[in-house]
Structure 1
Amino acid sequence: MTPRTRRPLPARIGRAAVTAVLAAGAVVSLVPFAWMVIAGTHSSSELFHSPPPFLPGGELLRNLAHLQETIGFGRVMLNSLGIAVVYTALSALLSAMCGYGLAKYRFRGRGLLLGLVLATMMIPLQVLLVPLFQMMANLGWINTYQAVILPFLANSFGILLMRQSFLDFPDELLESARIDGSGELRTFYQVVLPCVRPQLGALVIFTFMGQWNSFIWPLLMLNKQETYTVPVALNTLTGLTRVDYSGLMLGSLLATLPLVLLFLLFQRQFVSGLLGGALKG
């Protein structure tokens, strides 16, 4: 066995410095989560003691019961989960199909259509709220879940991300599948999509997070407590004269758990999707 070469002292110092900086950054990023755990297990009055608590308390079950009693937190979580899952599945599929069409099909006006997709990314959400609200009111969709899901299914970011992924897909494989008698939809689902799973996984994470954290549009569309999503329901805990800080912290902590679980499930695809473009160059 060949002996391992020892790194020069400056290289070891630099590596140790980088490791220390990354470790410090990781600790700092975990501080808000640690505070949510501590605040969620104390009463709101205990959070304003001097000094504030630095260890978890014994009010977790009481705060959970209060959350369930005031905003129906279990139902709210199911509402958000259902909306986010349906929106993510439909939006990711639509983005993949649109990106595939813009990347692999040659038709008149393709460049203009791509320019329109890029132009929609420059329109602020606030400009669209009034006309979209009037449209949903005319359709009778106020306080319905389809009003939350459908207007933003065509995600320009997702379309462009998938288009860039499909540009590198070899046309020879498509021609081979067509020669073997495979239809366009079968080719897309069985040949093309499995090859872009990393990019699709990254898109799923971004899309789910965006919908899960969406606040303004669900706030406008949903006006009954049983239809609220998590951000809208937590907003009701902040009153004019009193704020339930313990409930807010505990609710926010529980609301992050689905996002953490999703990232852990798609972590490999997420990293591969982000690094795919850099490795191809």
Structure 2
Amino acid sequence: EAEAENKYNLLTQNIVEVETVEKAETIEEFDSRKWKTLAIIGLGACFLVNFILPSMRFRYILPFIPIILIIYLTAADMMLTQRRKIIRYVLPVIPWILLALPQLEVLAIMPETNTGEIVDIIARDADSKKDLVVISWQIIAPAINYYLPRDIESVSFPDLRRSDFNHWPEMQDRVKDSKRLEALFEKMKQTVDEGGRIWLIERARDLTVHKDPEKRLKEDIAFEETFTLRMDQIHSWLKENAEQRGEIRMAPGRDFPIFLTTFVKSNSGIKPELRPQPAP
């Protein structure tokens, strides 16, 4: 026991007390509130742009802006932790400003469509008592009718009424409905027979005459092709049953250009009936 006690005493004599000192934390705790605040301000700015400019161009990216801004800015903040605060706050924002300014310039100088110019022409030259505005592309109808004076009659296809909004469910089925097309033909015929003009508004495209569009419409085709076939049919019918007045006017735009064509009653009228002549 004495020997064991001596060994213990020798070991304890070599023990040195060590004082541990905690090193002060020099890394600033990450605070995402400022970036979340900036994201909210950016989102609010996008909403304000939509109200100030005659466009809703940002509607395609608006739902994703907050989360993208938060991810981008917080990641940039963490990567720039060792930098001065002014650099950490300003540097991540510069790329967004460079990306946004050209888009805002386009929004300011080039409208989504030239609907306003088209409507100004119709409002200036149309006879509200006799003329008819036909919008063969339903998608553009609400934008046209929003600016078109209420005393000018307007119908769109396939809804066959003045459309202030688009009823999307089953729209393709309504476009394919041949009875609706016949009803539109009858309405246009009545207008030109009474001396009125048809102001046809349609999507700008290569005009095509189709041999058998009804057969194609019975197939499973895309929504866009369905509308294009009907627009071509309506334009072709007017070319055959009325007379085009002036040139086709095109209104360019960022998203889609549109055509405006005026038709009046043909001077040739009804073609004489062909009867077989007796052989000499």
What TM-score, normalized to structure 2? 0.28
- Higher relative contact order, structure no. (Cα contacts within 8 Å, ≥ 6 residues apart): 1
Q: Which has the higher strand share?
A: 2
Rg larger in structure: 2
TM-score by length of 1: 0.28
